[in-house]
Structure 1
């Protein structure tokens, strides 16, 4: 049986939780992760909330995710939620 897809909002929130968990496991602050990944602290804070702007799900660029996975020392796949989002427009 195929896994049900989640909404883009749910996917973004789960990605944010995964970022938060990986960061906590490394004992790093949000500001430190953002600095090491080359993004603004505010941007990273919003990512952990699953947002890009208030009320809008995050949609980070591929290279931003790669930088975050490198800083957090986890494979990108470990940051991504297990289920795929429903991208029907």
Structure 2
């Protein structure tokens, strides 16, 4: 059994942490950010947790990330974490 953390899960969690911090700095609710970015509040909450379904790492669309960066008023490069080493190729 491999107990090493999944690099993609860690990446998605770090993205969520960055979203949370940026939202807190703007003093906005999850609902306000979601609405302004054109997302359902449920979807935004899941992204901030770093997941799409329980046990599945978030994988937002580029369009979503751009919209969130604009609403949060931060550069996209500050929202997206540096990809971890060992990230498996996409499917």
In structure 1, what is the equivalent of residue 88 of structure 2?
A: 87
Please give the secondary structure, in 2, of the residue aligned with 1:52.
strand
1:78 partnered with 2:78: yes
Structure with the bigger RCO (C-alpha within 8 Å, sep 6+) is 1
Aligned 1:10-89 pairs, distance under 5 A: 10-84=10-84, 86-88=87-89
The structure 1 segments of at least 4 consecutive aligned residues displaced by more than 4 Å after TM superposition are none
Q: Deviations over 1:10-36 (max 9, x none)?
A: 000000000000000111100000000
Consecutive unaligned residues of structure 1, counting only runs of 5 or more, are 1-5
TM-score by length of 2: 0.86
Q: CA RMSD in A?
A: 1.5
Q: How many residues align?
A: 84
